[in-house]
Amino acid sequence: MASGAHRVLLLLSALASGEPGLSSPARCRLEDGSCPLHDMELDSSTLVVPGGQSRCIFSNTASEYAFQVIPGDADKLLIFFQGGGACFNDASTQGAAPCLSHVVEQPLVGIFDRTNAANPYRKHTVVHINYCSGDLHIGNVVRWYLDGAGQRVEQRGFPNALSAIKWTRRNMAGRLASLVIAGSSTGALGAQLWAATLLRSFSHQSAAVISDSALGIFPEHSQGPLLAGFGLCKSGLLDDSAALQRLCRSQQLTMQDIFHQLAAEYPHVALPVITSQQDAMQIKIYNAVCMANMMTERDSAAEWESKLIATLESYNKHPGFVLYLMSGNSDYFLPVKELFTTDLRGKHGLPSYGLKLVQWLESLPVFAGQSISSECSACAPVLASKTFTAPTARLQQESLVAVQPRDLPKESKDDVELLPSIHVEPPSLEYPWWSYLYYAALLVTAALLSLGAAQEWCHRSSFQSDAHHESSQDILGGHPCCRVTSKRTPALAEVYKLPCKGARRWWLGQQASAGCRTACSQGVKVHHPLANGGGEHQGVHDEHRQHLNLDLVGDLVTCIRASTIDSEALMKEVTEEEMTEFFIYAGCPGNWRG
């Protein structure tokens, strides 16, 4: 996930390629005036600093939050949510955090290119909601853990996005011919989460919600706590749906629930999805969430693809859903210069194959009576044959969404009149339930380390007196200062407690020792503190290590499945993704005894 964030950073900054739009951007502050759209230079980028509660995730970040405006036609609006990873717990926020933590200006490439005639959105006024909060643009929480400056981490993606939307409402209050809501990577999830509110907030003739390279495919049971932890339930974004609100408060809400509700509520709005069949970044994000939640589940490209297809098929039942599905593992298409060369074989699919992505986008949004069809290189007929036709009998009359009022510091009366009443309440400090497990785990770890020291002392004092009388069978499992756990061998559960110089200790009988050896012969590793021993038993140790695949692990005899986890490969993967400070225990999860 972290490598994905750095990759996004490189894509956005485009420093190596010297893309236009990066030199000395204009900047204005809402605190100094209204920063009116008509004062900004046409087709040029301006950074608007809203002040107030807006901020990036870390207190020691040099840059202050700003969103980006590119003026264009007054009746065409593109609201784009920037991507850039996510930071969702203590472990994922420390070290090389897998989310953008400072404002990165979007270069004028891809759908922001104002000079390329092939860009169907080159005339749109663009409000680019920059991203440096690591919270899918929905966060409004003060975390219980600290940043590098010793201050509690704050995630304010919701106030950040709200400030941009309020400015847009003030400056584009008329009816829009074209409203496009889009996002790439984690920004696509932000677009989906904000879409219903935005569709109600802007009167429009035709609209589309474009999701690029993110469908919210995460490990089971991980999405609900993540979304609730960001503060989504209290944001007001879900207040129009009692069902979604219940799911959110019970920590069972998923991005699939969000999409299904949006599609059901707006059947006349096109909801296109752009993705690769084996999107490398989405797979890394999936596996990083597994690691951050200490799950042993890992998805290969093929396994993730099967989940992708299942998700797409569930979306396909909605009238507005259409799909551009590419082969390969490319990702992140809309805000990069490769948009104009991307086809159904991805960014680098040569020779050219099928309808180019930029040509497909020309039909979005879909105006009354017009159509757009799904495109894919190799997918099920039910997906490939999908077509959406915009209805001709209705032009949507949008009304402002009524959301439960909340206090927003420094909010003026004009803001309330021009924007749906989405307000922010300064949150109390968050102490999620899993934080108590975290500290409990630290206490247990300290206790085990203390126990290990006591066992080592007991072991040495006992072994010195009994060393000449122990057999190789005793060395493999019969020593009084040993402890055995196993998932496969019931005999190992028969243990007896005996005193050891005033302390309690575990005695593993000969039956358990034999059971452990039997288990090892069936493909289970045995770990024993004497496996690397020396002296007159060295030959015995080497012989049994070679036969039974023994390894040294502290003062425990641990029988685990050899195939349970590849810790070396896993740690290599952690390094590659720059995920740090995880407690990864390679054992038999959920089956420890004794």
512 close to 494: Cβ distance less than 8 angstroms: yes
387 and 475 belong to one structural domain: no
Average pLDDT estimate for 212-218: 93
Residues 483 and 566 in one domain: yes
Whole-structure pTM over 0.75, yes or no? no
**334 and 260 in one domain?**
yes
pLDDT in tens, 123-135: 999 999 999 999 9
Looking at mean pLDDT, say which of 158-162, 170-174, 303-307 comes out highest. Answer: 158-162
Question: Looking at residue 331, what is its pLDDT?
Answer: 87
Inter-residue contact 60 to 47 (CB < 8 Å)? no
Quick one: 260 and 359 in the same domain? yes
Structural contact between residues 386 and 142, judged by C-beta atoms closer than 8 angstroms: no
Same domain flag for 527 and 484? yes
Q: Are residues 478 and 417 in the same domain?
A: no
In a domain, 129, yes or no: yes
pLDDT of residue 53: 92
Residue 458, in any domain of the structure: yes
- Asked if pLDDT for residue 112 goes beyond 70, the answer is yes
Instruction: Tell me which of 383, 413, 431 is where a domain ends.
Output: 431
Q: Is residue 303 part of a domain?
A: no
Read off the pLDDT band of 434 (50, 70, 90): low
Alpha helices in 276-401 (DSSP H): 280-292, 301-315, 357-361, 381-384
> pLDDT of 296-353, one tens digit each?
666 677 788 889 999 999 999 999 999 999 988 888 999 999 999 999 998 876 677 8
Give percent of the chain above pLDDT 70: 61
CA 529 – CA 551 distance, rounded (Å)? 8
Return the H-helix or E-strand segment holding 449: helix 433-466
Same domain (yes/no): 141, 267: yes
pLDDT at 96: 67
Same domain, 494 and 411: no
Per-residue model confidence (pLDDT) at position 435: 59
Q: For residue 301, tell me if it sits in a domain.
A: no
Residue 582 forms part of a structural domain: no
**Do 259 and 164 fall into the same domain?**
yes
Domain count within the chain: 2
Token couple for 501: 């110089």
Closest CA to 138 of 186, 79, 200: 186
Last residue of a domain, one of 431, 452, 482: 431
pLDDT at position 55 over 70: yes
How far is the C-alpha of 30 from the C-alpha of 39, rounded, in Å?
Answer: 13
Q: What digits encode the pLDDT tens for the residues 257-301?
A: 999 999 999 999 999 999 999 888 888 888 877 776 666 666 677
At which residue do the structure tokens 């922001």 appear?
Answer: 112
Q: Helix axis angle, 255-265 relative to 186-201, nearest 10°? A: 30
pLDDT > 90: percent of the chain: 47
Looking at 398, 431, 464, which one is the last position of a domain? 431
101 to 131, 156, 226: CA distances (angstroms): 8, 12, 19
Q: Is the pLDDT of residue 469 over 60?
A: no
Residue 588 inside a domain? The answer is no
Lowest mean pLDDT among 374-378, 484-488, 512-516: 484-488
The residues, any chain, with a CB within 8 Å of residue 409's CB and separated by 6 or more, are 52, 53, 426
- Is the residue at 101 inside a domain? yes
CA-nearest of 517, 511, 519 to 495 is: 511
Summarised one tens digit per residue, pLDDT across range 530-582 is 334 444 444 444 444 333 333 333 333 333 333 333 434 433 443 333 332 33
Same domain, 271 and 402: yes
Instruction: Give domain status of residue 294, yes or no.
Output: no
Same domain, yes or no: 399 and 414: yes
Structure tokens at 162: 């709200």
Predicted confidence (pLDDT) at residue 449 exceeds the cutoff of 60: yes
Average pLDDT over residues 86-95: 83
Range of the domain at 183: 2-282+309-431
Domain co-membership, 58 together with 125? yes
Average pLDDT of every residue of the chain:
73
